[in-house]
Structure 1
Amino acid sequence: MSEYIDEIIDSNFDSSDNWTIGGDAAIRNGRARITPESVESEGNITLRNHLTENVWRCDFRLDIENDDSGSEREVAILFFHDGVGELWQPDNGYYVSFDHADNEVRLVHRVDGEDNITRSGGFEISGNSNEEKHHIRISYDYGNVSVLVNSQNAFETTIESPDTEHSRFGFGGRTGSDNASAQYVDNVKLNTLTTRNISEASSEWDNGGLTFGEGSNSYKLMRALLSIRDRQDQALYDIKRAKHIDTAVGEELDKIGQLVNLDRRSGEADAKYRARLKVQFRVGNIGTTFNEFVEFAASVLETTVDEISIGFSFDINPATVEFSAQSNVYDNAALTRQEVQDFLSRGVPAGHDVNASEQGTFILKGDDEPNDPELGLGGDSGDDNGTLAGDIV
């Protein structure tokens, strides 16, 4: 598919190499924290590379922590802008704002520091929960803008005569004067069409004395004519993606679900539905050997076999498979702990039961180690304290 698509960025924020950080933003534990859980904060991250393409698509995950009712709090994807510095908005450019105080999605054209709202619409973003994850897709196609939130259409609109003078791309966010939320961005994928069509036209151009540089009228005319082929490339790319469970989205993923008779739940995000579909496929094809169950268990948690531990208890009836993993393995999985337990129970060999648990971090002190009460068994408040093992449900 690289014949049609250039991948500008695929970022899980293992480092800040691809981004400049401004204001209160920071890279924290593999995510971009746009604002901390502090009142009246604002921050931004800006892609070091410039975005000048007329057709692009950005997928990302928006994490909101401690989202209680309060004043302004929003995260925005910024594009075709002139730079942000330490603030959350540019002086000039465009942004799509996800306002979880007013539950509204807005497309804004910012000119000389003033907001001009191009399109807005009510959309349920805030669930007022301790931790929310929203999967978002923004598509831009020669001024046509579409926004999907958790596979649901927020809006589609057209920017008349779009201003693409500037070329910065990134994310910004702010909090208000009370009840601030921590706002994170993760799993950012930004793709554009390749330049293959215009490159082929340039190489075959018989100018007859006419210039064909990027700034020439001849080039601009050819670029406009080839936009039709660009859209055909985009359509071919989407068709290929729709056939694979890892890349299908929205209705494409629903069609895959029909193959295994597993419907999407109301409001269920693509990532969660995709994880359930993969496990459903595996349930129908799992063998009865120990190794096959180990591989199945790892697929349920979207991890490797090295990250899980499995044993057997034969002194009880029925024989029980003892399954355990560290708490972070469960946290990183798309499935809930209850769903993990349910799928493992369906995949365990016939005549067996399964008990899933979290591994504790509490360990005994060695004889040569000093006594340190700070490292003893403790609660959630101490990062260095040990925790006991326990069932996941």
Structure 2
Amino acid sequence: MRQNYTLYGWHLSYFTGKALCYLRYKQASHTLKAVNLFTLTRTIKKKTGAAVMPVLKTSAGEWIQDTTEIIDYIESVHPNNPVMPATPVQQFASLLLEAWGDEWWVPIAMHTRWNYPENYALFEREAGKALLPWAPGFLQKKIALRPAKMLVGMLPHVGIVPDQYATMNVWTARMLDALDKHFEEYPFLLGARPSLGDFGLVGTMYGHLGRDPWPKRELIEPRTNLNEWLERMKNPAPFAKHKLMPNDEIPATLNPVFESVFQEFVPMVAKIGELATAHAQQHGLNTRLPRRIGEVTTTMAGQPFKRGALPYMIWMMQRALDHLDAMPQGDQQAVRVWLASHNAEHILNMNLPRVERRALTVAVTALPKQHMEKAA
């Protein structure tokens, strides 16, 4: 018997879009319920430990926070049409793409929303109506200022400062062009049906770039192949029986994407790991880390890019590396060969601390042990 789910979130929300597209793909019976002020600040915070969205409520009364864990849960109870590929390289690539989509694109999504004033009317209308659905319009507009001010206040913490606008704009145009070229040849990232990486990427596209007026008009709609992928992702169930690339292949058209993953995103996570290790050495193991522990500098579009160090990213990378460690030796070797083709063997030697997820951040449970390649 199929469960009925309630997904608490907003169409405006980065991660609600990811969860919503995924539930549609799985054809899991669900209702999207707009989060009001009481539900967000009282109910969800009490049930999950954070005032956050989206959150999935099951028919059994479980409350699941974090889209990665929502997907893992649904996959466990609805195993048909899995989003995880069956072959090792595509599995590992999908996990990396999910982490990259979840974490690396956040500055781009926030920059293209909050630095273009024409977007605000949509946010004000939808956020206000959701938070106080019973209130008159002037109160809805007033209450919408609260999350708007909070989110705008976060911009410098994720690297959105005037000195870095040009870098973000150049990177965004290049990456959207690369994705548009890829989707000219393939319906989804790894073939003819969506996989985990598609759902990681759709978060920034569904709620922000593909819905806010300025980026929708200027960035997404002119790139027709990318726009068509986004439309497919809004209703992906018809593609569930289609095939991924044969022979565990990763399309060469994704090389610019994986260049970003390996040369921009992975080094940033490694530096965050160093900060998390230092914090744990000072404050002890099993201590919940702040959501932001200083700043790190990586590169974006060949330029230095500085942003806040979010230790949550360690958990996402740990998940991918744990999956690799659990593979049979032959499958691990196939992944190593693929990584070598991208000069990306450094990902196997990330000296990350062991972490446990705690709502929106993590706690270090063990100091790092060098992540060594296993003998073939």
Q: Do Structure 1 and Structure 2 share a fold, with TM-score over 0.5?
A: no
Give 1 or 2: higher strand fraction. Answer: 1
- Greater relative contact order (CA < 8 Å, ≥ 6 in sequence): 2
Structure 2 length as normaliser, TM-score? 0.27
- Choose between structure 1 and 2: higher helix proportion: 2
User: TM-score when scaled to structure 1?
Assistant: 0.26
